[in-house]
Amino acid sequence: MQLSQDRFAYTDAPLQLILFIDGRPKSGQQVQRIRSYLKELEAEYQFELEIVDVGQQPYLAEHFKLVATPALVKIHPEPRHILAGSNIVSQLKVWWPRWQISVDMYFKSQVGMIEDTDNIGDISKLNSSVSGIKSLAVSAELMKLSDEIFHLKQEKDKLEEQLQFKDRVIAMLAHDLRNPLTAAAIAVETLQSNYSQEKGIFKRLTPPLAAKLLRQARTQTRIIDRMIAELLQVGRGKETKIPIVPQKTEVGKLCGEVMSELRQRYKAKSLKLERDIPEDLPLVYADPERIRQVLINLIDNAIKYTPEGGVISISGLHRTSQKVQFSIGDSGPGIPEEKREQIFENHYRLERDEEKDGYGIGLCLCQRIITAHYGQIWVEEAPTGGAWFHFTLPVYPT
């Protein structure tokens, strides 16, 4: 790799310099002054100069940790010295005599070393020590390769993140499919068990109730269809964020719909439902289907962990002019304080829950959905000793 075609003076000169330039027009005049001054010095001094365009070879600029260009770097003799700023020529006039002193000292040290060893072969040490610019070409290639390896690693990490995201979302959606499948199955089985083929009517079912069960089955199948579509979308996409379509949403109404879907579950355990959602609670700016997923997961967990005859609480609170808070509480065993952050991690489960149904992904899904809405979700101890899950959503702007 050749650093530049622009070279002054002698190859393997004792004084070696690199001038870093850029393509900015306003720095062109300064670069020209520096080169003109060095051209004048060429008549009296031996030195080697390389011109490096940082736009073409950023690896060398990174190697020297340059923060501005143009910059003039003395790389030999050591120690390295960098001149930068708008007055490089003035600095060069001050430092040039000192650089020549360092060259003289370098030659004396090399001659002394050869005399001490009394071996003419050691002259190679002198030659090798002034090949700094040549070694920079190799260094530049190594830095370039290192940079390419770094970018490849980034791409690899990104692909792995996409695969992990797809695995998580597919597992989450598969987990959530159970609720609409169960609700649809219950509605269809109820209709089927009460239908008389001979008479063509539903036994023990009033027409309004039969119509309601049909609507419930239809609604749940639509939810299942949407979730399957999301699975396909995730499989094709490259995003690592859950997509949302925010709109004007009434969370209190969503809560009512979710409770209707889960009615059979909490009735089967004789659970008491306490609901405190103000009628004047503001609308929120959220994706109703995604928030439905959050509510289903949190209420489903509350039902699961509340013992028979226990209490489930659902409340809404207008916290600020920008945020609405919803809370779902239970009278179950609660969450240990030291575990209250970990439970939102993917596939994390408390030891006591290892034998229970589920994939340990519901709360992770809830957190990702709420975060996508620029909200927060957390858990506290409920007054009844169980768990209080809270989440916030943005108020719909009026």
Q: What SS3 class is residue 213?
A: helix
Overall average pLDDT of the 49-53 stretch: 87
Q: Is the pLDDT at 60 greater than 70, yes or no?
A: yes
Residues 161 and 81 occupy one common structural domain: no
How many domains in the chain? 3
Residue 262 has pLDDT above 60, yes or no: yes
pLDDT at residue 207 in the model: 82
* Domain termination residue (choose one: 240, 258, 281): 240
- Proportion of the chain in helix, strand, coil states, percent, rounded to 5: 55, 20, 30
Average pLDDT, the chain: 78
Q: For residue 123, how many other CB atoms are within 10 A of its CB? A: 13
The answer on 251 and 359 residing in a single domain is yes
**Residue spans of alpha helices (H) in the chain:** 25-42, 58-63, 88-117, 123-129, 132-193, 207-236, 251-261, 263-268, 288-305, 362-372
Beta bridge partners of 390: 327, 378
Q: What is the mean predicted confidence (pLDDT) over 320-343?
A: 86
Instruction: Please check whether residue 349 is in contact with residue 269, taking contact to mean a CB–CB distance below 8 angstroms.
Output: no
pLDDT band at 143 (very low <50, low <70, confident <90, very high): low
Please check whether residue 60 lies inside any domain of the structure. yes
Token digits of residue 122: 């050691």
The model's pLDDT over 378-393, given as tens digits with 9 standing for 90+, comes to 999 877 788 999 999 9
For residue 138, what pLDDT band results from cuts at 50, 70 and 90?
Answer: low
- Residues 256 and 375 grouped into a single domain: yes
Tokens for 49? 């100069």
Q: Residue 358's pLDDT is what?
A: 39
Last residue of a domain, one of 182, 215, 240: 240
Residue 236 clears pLDDT 80, i.e. is over it: no
Do residue 397 and residue 250 come from a single domain?
yes
Domain assignment present for residue 138? The answer is no
Structural domain including 180 reads: 147-240
In a domain, 33, yes or no: yes
Both tokens of 142, joined, read: 């190594």
Which is more confident, 220 or 333?
333
pLDDT tens digits, one per residue of 84-124: 888 999 999 999 999 998 888 887 877 666 555 545 444 44
To the nearest whole percent, how much of the chain has pLDDT over 70?
76
Phi-psi region of 15 (alpha: psi -120 to 50; beta: other; left: phi over 0): beta
* Closest alpha carbon to 369 in 290, 272, 298, 274: 290
Domain of 173: which CATH number?
A: 1.10.287
Of 111-125, 207-221, 316-330, give the lowest mean pLDDT range: 111-125
Q: Which letter does DSSP use for residue 197 in this model? A: T
- Say whether pTM exceeds 0.75: no
Provide the pLDDT for residue 132: 52
221, 240, 259 — which closes off a domain? 240
**Dihedral over alpha carbons 230, 234, 235, 236 (to 10 degrees):** 100
The pLDDT of residue 83 is 92
Question: How far apart, in whole angstroms, are the C-alpha atoms of residue 52 and residue 57?
Answer: 7
pLDDT(185) > 90: no
**Domain for residue 42, yes or no?**
yes
Confidence of residue 321 (pLDDT cuts 50, 70, 90): confident
Mean pLDDT of 295-324: 89
Which contiguous run of DSSP H or E holds residue 248? strand 247-249
Mark whether 359 and 255 lie in a shared domain: yes
Query: Tell me, what's the pLDDT at 238?
Result: 55
Phi, psi of 394 (to 5 degrees): -75, 140
Q: Radius of gyration over alpha carbons of the chain, in Å? A: 37
Say whether pLDDT at 370 is over 70. Answer: yes
The verdict on 323 and 368 lying in the same domain is yes
2 within a domain of the structure (yes/no): no
- Whether 70 is in a domain gets the answer yes
Residue 139 belongs to a domain: no
- The pLDDT, as a whole number, for residue 169 is 65
- 293 and 388 together in one domain: yes
- Using an 8 Å Cβ cutoff, are 17 and 65 in contact? no
**Residue 197 in domain:** yes
